[in-house]
Chain A
Amino acid sequence: MYTTYRLTVASIKMLVRNRQALFFTLLMPLFIMLIFGYIGFDKPQTIDVGIATSTPAGASEAFLEQIKKFPTFTIHEGSLAEEKTALDQGNRAVVLSPEGGTIVAYTSASKPESQAVVAALNQYISSATLAGAHISPLITIETRVVNAHNLRYIEFLLPGLIALSIMQMSVFSVAFVFTQYKEKGVLKRLLATPMRPLQFVAANAITRLLVSVLQAAIFIVAGLLLFHVTVIGSYWLLALSVILGSLMFLGLGFTISGLAKTTDSVPVFANLVVFPMMFLGGTFFAVSSMPAWLQVIAKLLPLTYFSTAVREIMTKGSGLAIIWPDLLGMVVWGIILITLATYTFSFQEREAA
C-alpha cells in the first residue's frame, strides 16, 4: 500500500509537470467548448420581413407599427422594388406593401415560412378586428410551455466533450508515457526492483482516474459559469460513468503501448481508433442523426456509451434504470480492452530470436 501510494504521488507530480499533456487534456477541450459555445448554433431564428415604404401607408400605418414589434420578425424597410429584389434573392420571407386599405403580401415559393407569416398576420388582423368591435372571441388559446428545459447546443455538447477529453487523456497519456518507458529501458529498471509491475500500473491508473474526475469537474464548472448550463442528474452517477469510461480507455492506452514499438508509432495506433470515435461517438452531433447503417456501428463504440451516459445524466437527470445499458456497454468494453492490454503490454521485453 505504501509503495502504491508513494508511486501514485510521484505519478501525479509527473503528469502535472508535463505541460504538453496538460494542454491537450484540459486547455484544448476548453477551447473547443468556448468556440462552439460562442458560435451560438441556437440563437432563435428570426424571419426576415420586408416593408415597402415607397407608398404612403395610410390606414395600415398602425398595423405595420405593431408588426415591427414582433420579436420573431427582423424588419427591413426599403422601396418596393428593393424589397422585391431581396425577396427574389431569398433574403426575405415576405414583403408587405401597403396599398390603400389593403396590404399586399409578396411571398416566396422557395421560403416555406412565407405562408406561416401570412397566416399569422391574418390571425393577428382577425383578433384585432374582434377586439376593435368589443367582441370577445368564442375560444381562446392559452399556450403553456411543457418542455421547460429546452436543450441548447452547448448543453448537448458539454457532456460529449467531457467524454471525448477523458478518452483523449486516458488513451494518449498512458500510450505515450508507457511506450517511452519501454523504449528508454525504464520499465526494465523497474523490473529490477522487488515492486510488482501491477503496483506501478495501478499508481498510474489511479492518477489518471483522478485527473478524469477533475477534467469532468472543470468542464461542468466552466459550463455553469460561462454558459449557465444546468446539470440535472446525480453527481455520483456522473462520477461512476466518468471512472468507468476512463478505465476502459486506460485499457486501450495500455493496449496501444503494448503494440507500439516506439513513441513515433503511438499517434498512428491511437488515432486509428480515437479519430473515428471523435465524429461517430456522439460528441458533436447525435448518433440518431446519422444514416441507419452507421448508427449500428456508432452505437457500439465505447465513446458512444460513455457520452450517452454522461449526457443522459446531465441533461435529463436519468438514473440507473435508464442508463444501465450504457454502463453495461462500458463494463463490457472495459473487460475487452483491459484483457487485450494484458496480452499486448508487458514490462518484460520480448526475447528476440
Chain B
Amino acid sequence: MAFLIAGRIFGLLCLLVIMASVAYYIKQAQGGTVPKVRRIPGIDAIDEAMGRAVEMGRPVFCSHGIANLRAATSGPQTLAGLSVLSYVAKQSLAVGAELYVPVRQPEVWPVAADIVETEFKLAGRGDEFDPDKIPFLSTQQFGFSSNYMGMMMRERPGANIMIGAYWAESLQLAETGSRIGAMQITGTANSSQIPFFLVVSDYCLIGEEIYSAGAYLTNDAPLIASLAGQDVGRIIAVILGLLGALTVTFGSNILLDLFAM
C-alpha cells in the first residue's frame, strides 16, 4: 500500500465514489434519462436583470470574481464565474445590452476577453467587440474595488452580476451597485462573504449554487445530470456526519480512524 499516500486513502475513496456517481448520471442523461433540477431563482433572474438594464438604457456589469484560476478553493469559483460570463455575453448580444467585464487577474483577462469576443463572432458581430469594455483594473485588491466602484458610478449599470470568489471588496461593490439602483445577482462560495451579498443584493447564489450555474444556464442534459451525481456526495456527507456524531457520542473513534486511513 506504499503506493498510496497514507492519510489520503479515505479521501480518494470518497472522491472516486462521487466521480463515479457523476459519471453514471452523465451516462444516464446521454441515454435520455435526465433528472429534474429545482429552480434557482438567482440564476433565473439573470435574464430579467439584463432585460431591465436594456429597458433602462443602462449597461450590464458582469464580474467573475477576483481570484485566479490556480488556487485550489477559489480557482473553481472563477471557472464558475466564467461559465456565467459566457451566458451573459451571449444574452447581452441577444437583448442588445452593453456589457462590461472588470477583471482583476491578468492571467484571467485573456480567457474573459476570448469568451466575450467569441460570442460576438458567433453572433456575426465580431467587428463590434470592444476590448476596452473588458478592462484589466488592478492586481491590487482595493485598487480593483475602487476602480470597479468608480466604473459603476460613471456608467450606472442597470444590472450587476457578480459570481465568483470575493473577499473584503464584496460589500464595497455590492453596496455601490445597490446605491446606483442596479439589479444585483451575486454569488460566492466564500462563506465569510455570503452574508454581505445576501444583505445587499437582489438575488444571491449560496456556495455550491455557483458551481451549478454553468450547467443550469446551458440546460445541457449531461451537465444537468452531473448535479444529481453531486447529490450522492451530499448523501454520503450526511450519513458520515450522523454516524460520526453517534460514534463519537458513544465513545468510539472508529470513523475518525477510518478518515485518517
Do the two shown chains form a genuine complex with each other?
no
- B residues neighboring A (CB under 8 Å): none
- A residues neighboring B (CB under 8 Å): none
